[in-house]
């Protein structure tokens, strides 16, 4: 266990070595167990961030660890020039729970977004026999940091220094169908959105909007791409958030909780989107390797066996009631939004970073989503008792 001076020395060293693209909180996490994290000084934190919605099954799960340990001693990597059984198994399970037809495993969420954008462009190229197509994305969206994903991320602050980005991207207002319709033309090949906007402040799509965009996509022969990287994998109380809406995307994206901590994402497609790209159109060296796919396969197996969706609905409803109470108790809380175990409280001023910092001192990990919103994305295995403990500490800090 490190001393305070060791800790500061490590943090200083970190600041020396890392390319500075983050302002980090002064905590060194050392290990995790269940829904708790432990820092380098041995302090226990209740975790309502899950490493940004990643650790769905929590930390140090014995069955998950055993599967990965076994796989490590067998084979980590073999490239996509060959088959590997964990990828076949994970793929089969993922298609079953997503109602999709084809899967491509990536190393991250951002890369899943890249794949989806390529499908949309390839689809329209097959359709029209030429390139130059356009994609409609949403304002206040977040799809990742690579140049393609950044191009569809509706945030000027993130985009401006890196211009010019992908041409032909237009931004509509989320939950405003007319604003999407106004941007469609003969060159449009797809619409991309998060089913529940995450980084933008926890905004669920309305049913009317999602159904309207789906109908528009059918009508104009465009692809509906749903980014479920944050809201998917059980977080909304449904395996994928769109499954609650009575719609069906042509392409959908998963990552974050898919691997429970190992880097794995996926894009999935169905219908004509499932065959739009062919051999030579896309690839990856690591993506879908046996190690990460063994993780994804194990996550999907444990989700089913442990009835994670039912659990999320129950604890999510409990969290909802508790946060409604918090919102009522405090005038500065302006709104409460979300579904399942993806909820947010919006304040009337930019408190996000401040609240997070104060809560860390209370040994509670909570992250923000934009300046005014604090975000609740705990491990999905969190209990009602954990929710009570969290609310106690939150009330103190507000
Ligand atoms: C996190 C996130 C991404 C990017 O995923 P990375 O794994 O960080 O590349 C894309 N879309 C959404 C909705 C996300 O929350």
- What pLDDT is stored for residue 146 in this prediction? 98
Residue range 205-230: average pLDDT?
A: 98
Neighbours of 331 (CB within 10 A): 8
Mean pLDDT, the chain, rounded, equals 97
Q: Residue range 353-382: average pLDDT? A: 94
- Is the Cβ atom of 144 under 6 angstroms away from ligand 1? yes
Once rounded to an integer, what is the mean pLDDT over residues 94-112? 98
Residue 159, C-beta contacts closer than 8 angstroms, at least 6 positions apart = 150, 151, 153, 165
Centroid of ligand 1 to alpha carbon of 257 (angstroms): 11
Mean pLDDT along residues 72-86: 98
Q: How far is the CA of 240 from the centre of ligand 1 (A)?
A: 15
Phi, psi of 225 (to 5 degrees): -110, 120
pLDDT at 323: 98
pLDDT (0 to 100) of residue 123: 98
Sequence-ordered alpha helix ranges (H) in 129-184: 147-151, 156-159, 177-181
Measuring CA to CA, how many Å separate 366 from each of 52, 194, 300, 306, 339? 9, 21, 26, 25, 17
Contact criterion met (CB below 8 Å) for 233 and 259? no
Per residue in 23-68, pLDDT tens?
A: 999 999 999 999 999 999 999 999 999 999 999 999 999 999 999 9
**Ligand 1 center–CA 143 separation, angstroms:** 5
Question: In the chain, where does DSSP find H-type helix?
Answer: 4-17, 50-53, 62-72, 85-98, 109-128, 147-151, 156-159, 177-181, 207-219, 290-305, 308-329, 352-361, 384-397
- Write out pLDDT tens, residues 4-22: 789 999 999 999 999 999 9
Specify the residue with its C-alpha closest to ligand 1, atom 7. 109
In angstroms, the CA 61 to CA 46 distance is 16
Q: How far apart are the first and last CA of the chain?
A: 32
Tokens for 258, please give them: 């898919």
Whole-number percent of the chain with pLDDT over 90:
96
Q: What is the pLDDT of residue 267?
A: 98
Cα dist from 106 to 62, 188, 262, 329, whole Å: 26, 25, 12, 44
Distance CA 120, CA 357 (A): 41
Q: Which strands sit side by side in the sheet containing 342-347, from one edge to the other?
A: 333-339, 342-347, 373-376, 367-368
pLDDT (tens digit per residue) in 305-348:
999 999 999 999 999 999 999 999 999 999 999 999 999 999 99
Average pLDDT over residues 109-121: 98
**In this predicted model, what pLDDT tens digit does every residue of 258-281 receive, in sequence order?**
999 999 999 999 999 999 999 999
Q: Is 288 close to ligand 1, i.e. is its CB under 6 Å away?
A: no
| CB 230 less than 6 A from any atom of ligand 1 | yes
Protein residue closest via CA to atom 8 of ligand 1: 109
Q: Quickly tell me which residue has 């599967």 as its tokens.
A: 67
Predicted confidence band of residue 354 (pLDDT cuts 50, 70, 90): confident
- If you take atom 10 of ligand 1, which residue's CA is the nearest one? 143
pLDDT attached to residue 2: 66
Q: Is the pLDDT of residue 239 over 80?
A: yes
Question: Distance between CA atoms of 254 and 341, rounded to whole angstroms?
Answer: 17
- Nearest alpha carbon to residue 25 among 307, 363, 261: 363
pLDDT at 1 over 60: no
Residue 43: CB atoms within 10 Å: 13
CA 3 and chain centroid, separation = 35
Cis amide prior to 14 (ω within 30 degrees): no
Atom of ligand 1 nearest to the CA of 227: 13
Nearest residue CA, atom 11 of ligand 1? 143
């Amino acid at each position: 266990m490190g001393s305070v001076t060791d800790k500061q020395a490590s943090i200083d060293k970190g600041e020396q070595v890392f390319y500075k693209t983050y302002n980090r909180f002064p905590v060194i996490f050392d290990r995790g167990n269940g829904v708790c994290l432990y820092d380098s000084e041995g302090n226990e934190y209740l975790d309502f961030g899950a490493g940004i919605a990643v650790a769905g099954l929590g930390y140090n799960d014995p069955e998950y660890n055993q599967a990965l340990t076994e796989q490590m001693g067998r084979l980590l990597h073999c490239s996509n020039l060959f088959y590997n059984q964990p990828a076949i198994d994970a793929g089969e399970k993922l298609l079953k729970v997503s109602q999709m037809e084809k899967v491509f495993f990536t190393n991250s969420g951002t890369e899943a977004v890249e794949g989806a954008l390529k499908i949309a462009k390839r689809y329209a190229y097959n359709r029209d026999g030429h390139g130059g197509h356009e994609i409609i994305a949403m304002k206040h969206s977040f799809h990742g940091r690579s140049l393609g994903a950044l191009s569809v991320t509706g945030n000027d602050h993130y985009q401006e220094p890196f211009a010019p980005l992908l041409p032909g991207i237009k931004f509509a207002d989320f939950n405003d169908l007319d604003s999407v319709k106004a941007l469609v033309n003969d060159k449009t090949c797809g619409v991309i959105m998060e089913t529940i906007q995450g980084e933008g402040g926890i905004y669920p799509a309305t049913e009317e909007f999602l159904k309207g965009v789906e109908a528009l996509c059918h009508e104009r022969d465009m692809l509906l791409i749903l980014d479920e990287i944050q809201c998917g994998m059980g977080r909304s109380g449904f395996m994928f958030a769109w499954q609650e809406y009575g719609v069906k995307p042509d392409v959908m994206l998963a990552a974050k909780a898919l691997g429970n901590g190992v880097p794995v994402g996926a894009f999935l497609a169905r219908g004509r989107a499932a065959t739009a790209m062919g051999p030579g159109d896309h690839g990856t060296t690591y993506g879908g390797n046996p190690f990460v796919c063994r993780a994804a396969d194990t996550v999907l197996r444990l989700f089913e066996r442990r009835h994670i969706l039912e659990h999320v609905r129950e604890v999510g409803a409990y969290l909802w009631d508790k946060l409604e109470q918090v919102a009522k108790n405090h005038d500065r809380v302006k709104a409460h939004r979300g579904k399942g175990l993806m909820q947010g409280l919006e304040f009337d001023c930019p408190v996000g970073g401040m609240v997070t910092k104060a809560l860390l001192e209370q040994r509670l990990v909570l992250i923000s989503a934009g300046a005014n919103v604090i975000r609740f994305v705990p491990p999905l295995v969190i209990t009602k008792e954990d929710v009570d403990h969290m609310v106690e500490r939150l009330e103190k800090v507000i």
